[in-house]
């Protein structure tokens, strides 16, 4: 078995079932690697953490930790791809996302997720914009909420060639994708946004290559 650390082709099995590399002398568990690959395959197929927990028989929190690591890897991959193609950006627009369960925009403006979507080569890249809290306004002031809502809606940074484009297609994709998740925290939102971006941009084969 090839070493997972240095790619050396020669390893040997220890008494406890671990493999040890003859070159770098580091140990690793083939069973753990197989388990991680199974979870990754389920993640790529689009199952959420609870579904993966049922499919593998593994504890939900263990699966959730794997998924968090996958999303962090995806975020890094997304940043790398954007840096390679930033010079090809041809369109961009801001998006104000509010969960569909929260119908009143003005009343729930403090729960808004605000991001900028850029388009290049029929792919997208997303940047989080400053949070509403950044504006230091009074959450309990209804008039102030309405003024801020109006400001955000009519003072957007945008450059679009047509009304139907890669960016609007991604937004529609994202709205459907995020419905399966309930109560995503502000801190974790970027990782779910990046997962949606990755699934929109990449074919299944490209998704698999992300983790090689």
Q: State mean pLDDT over 4-8.
A: 92
Question: Per residue in 55-77, pLDDT tens?
Answer: 999 999 999 999 999 999 999 99
Q: What percent of the chain has pLDDT above 90?
A: 70
- Residue 107 pLDDT > 70: no
pLDDT digits (tens, 9 = 90+) for 21-51: 999 999 999 999 999 999 999 999 999 999 9
Of the two residues 55 and 183, the one the predictor is more confident about is 55
Which tokens sit at 28?
């690793």
C-alpha span between 186 and 189 (Å, rounded)? 5
pLDDT in tens, 188-209: 999 999 999 999 999 999 999 9
pTM of the model: 0.84
Exposure on the CB side of residue 205, measured as CA atoms within 13 A: 0
């Amino acid at each position: 078995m090839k070493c997972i650390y240095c790619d050396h082709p020669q390893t040997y099995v220890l008494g406890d079932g671990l493999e040890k590399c003859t070159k770098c002398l580091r140990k690793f568990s083939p069973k753990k690697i197989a388990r991680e690959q199974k979870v990754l395959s389920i993640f790529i197929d689009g199952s959420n953490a609870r579904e993966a927990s049922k499919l593998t028989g593994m504890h939900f929190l263990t699966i959730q930790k794997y998924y968090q690591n996958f999303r962090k890897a995806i975020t890094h991959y997304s940043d790398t791809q954007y840096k390679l193609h930033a010079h090809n950006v041809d369109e961009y627009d801001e998006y104000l996302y509010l969960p569909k369960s929260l119908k009143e925009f003005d009343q729930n403006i403090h729960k808004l997720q605000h991001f900028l979507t850029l388009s290049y080569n029929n792919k997208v890249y997303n940047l989080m914009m400053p949070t509403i809290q950044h504006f230091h306004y009074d959450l309990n002031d209804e008039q102030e909420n309405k003024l801020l809502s109006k400001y955000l809606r009519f003072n957007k940074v945008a450059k679009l060639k047509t009304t139907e484009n890669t960016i609007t297609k991604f937004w529609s994709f994202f709205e459907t994708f995020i419905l399966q998740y309930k109560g995503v925290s502000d801190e974790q939102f970027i990782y779910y946004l990046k997962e949606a971006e990755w699934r929109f941009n990449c074919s299944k084969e490209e998704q698999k290559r992300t983790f090689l």
